[in-house]
Amino acid sequence: MLKTQEESRGFTVGPFVFWGALWGALICVIELLVVSAGIRATVAGCGLGLVGGGAIGLLIGGLCCGLRAASKSSLLVRTFWILPGAIAASWIFTSLNITGHLGDKQFALAQKAALGCLLLAILIAAWGALLQPTQTKPMGLLGHRRPLRLIFGALLIASAGIAFYLDAHLLVGLYLDVHLLLRTLGLAVGCSGFVLLCPHFRLRYGRICTGLISGGILVSAWLCTASHQGALWSLIQAPLPSSLLQSVRISTDFDFDGASSLWGGGDCAPFNAAIHPRAREIPNDGVDNNCIRGDYVPKPAAKAPISLSPAEDADQTSVVLITIDATRPDHMSVYGYDRETTPNLKRFAQNARVYKRAYTSGAMTSLAIPSLLRGIYPRRILWKKLYETDQYELLTEEEVNANSKVHVIHMAEIPADDSRPV
């Protein structure tokens, strides 16, 4: 069968970048609409999707075309994709500490996870081998058979959609490496699916791709600033936009201090590693060390320090403190919300004092409640660093280091050794 000129030329990098950028932007917009993000956050997320998807497309397209040009052996370039599959599977295998769990009560679950890693390696290797263009088949193993190519492309797009669905709904907040891999594979597989469906969409890819990615960088950087915390918060709530936001911040952390001066990273000195949002503020040194409201100039104390010990003749009246976690006053009927979300509180408030303005001493429950019970600011509490495991245990750093089978989910600080009265 005679080949057309386009089939003889085969895949180029341009379609991968183009479709990767559009696919990334589409997924970001969908995820932001799901979390009811505003226009600013949605447009910024679209820009981040153009950048991230385009970068993944450039990586996959460059790898495919580079392998085709580097070797005339079809078998060699196709077997190369065993390596990315093995790397991804090993990364997840290590991240989940599967080896450590094979000898404990999580044995059955560890076995399933190990089989899942093996299946992941096989799927990535098969995907790359079928997609990989060679000297004899410049459009991949199925590229010259239009029905098979279209079916394979549609399956890849559907698989990418499933990956993003699992990322958004499966074990949210746990096993972050697994979620990161799902997002990366979702972008890469979806991008390649569109390339198979439209391998030679007649556009000047170079100019269009450059415009899309440049526009995405400029728009997202302009809209994601520290003064628009609402937009940044919406981006963080959506899985793929949050990963892309973190990625562009890391890539623009020029002084490697853990903060970027762009995309709302808050670094006011991008080339000075000693100045960043997490730095300790040094009073009266003429430098805004933590990039918050300039240099701190302490005011002279007007009174003697307040004693933290209860007075001997203190009133022994019993007080019942009831707290509600993770609530918003604009969604509580006691504060005027149109739906009856808190009818009992609203009824209780008729004969009680209701405060319309309240300020917390900490943005997290673990900071606010200990501060509230002790009557002091969180920075004056003696905190102890503990690690929560997948077995719902709280261990010290020494206990974690002494046991290689422990799988830590996250770190928490609690006032376990603080002797102040509560």
For the chain, how many structural domains are there in total? 2
Residue 123 lies in a domain: no
Q: Of residues 71 and 120, which shows the higher confidence score? A: 120
Mean pLDDT in residue range 145-166: 89
Domain C-terminal end among 197, 225, 250: 250
Distance between CA atoms of 222 and 73, rounded to whole angstroms? Answer: 47
Lowest average pLDDT, out of 345-349, 372-376, 390-394, goes to: 390-394
Q: What is the pLDDT of residues 304-346, one digit of tens each?
A: 555 556 566 666 777 888 888 878 888 889 988 888 999 999 9
Give SS3 for 410: strand
Mean per-residue pLDDT over the chain, rounded? 83
Residue 313 lies in a domain: no
Domain C-terminal end among 197, 221, 250: 250
Give SS3 for 385: strand
One domain, residues 246 and 379: no
Domain containing residue 417: 375-422
Res 41: pLDDT: 87
Residue 296: both structure tokens together: 């701190």
Residue 206 lies in a domain: yes
Q: With 70 as the cut, is the pLDDT of residue 238 above it?
A: yes
CB of 191 closer than 8 Å to CB of 57? yes
- Name the residue with tokens 């969908």: 30
Report field, pTM of the whole predicted structure over 0.85 = no
Residue 119 lies in a domain: no
Give SS3 for 413: strand
β-strands 384-389, 408-414 pairing: antiparallel
Res 185: pLDDT: 93
Give SS3 for 395: strand
158: confidence class by pLDDT, cuts 50, 70, 90: very high
CB of 397 closer than 8 Å to CB of 388? no
Of 66, 27, 37, 19, nearest to 213 by C-alpha is: 19
Residue 92 lies in a domain: no
Q: What is the pLDDT of residues 168-177, one digit of tens each?
A: 888 887 888 8
Domain C-terminal end among 250, 278, 302: 250
Res 4: pLDDT: 46
Q: With 90 as the cut, is the pLDDT of residue 182 above it?
A: yes
199: confidence class by pLDDT, cuts 50, 70, 90: low
Lowest average pLDDT, out of 20-34, 126-140, 195-209, goes to: 195-209
Percent of the chain predicted with pLDDT > 90: 22
One domain, residues 390 and 246: no
Helices (H) and strands (E) in the chain, counts: 15, 3
Distance between CA atoms of 113 and 93, rounded to whole angstroms? Answer: 8
Q: Of residues 418 and 240, which shows the higher confidence score? A: 240
Give SS3 for 343: helix
Residue 292 lies in a domain: no
Residue 325 lies in a domain: no
CB of 281 closer than 8 Å to CB of 292? yes
Residues 253, 232, 240: CA angle, nearest 5 degrees? 80
Of 104, 92, 110, 177, nearest to 393 by C-alpha is: 104
Residue 222 lies in a domain: yes
Q: CA neighbours within 13 Å on the CB side: how many for 29?
A: 11
The number of beta carbons lying within 10 Å of the beta carbon of residue 343 is 10
* Stretch (H or E) spanning 386: strand 384-389
CB of 88 closer than 8 Å to CB of 120? yes
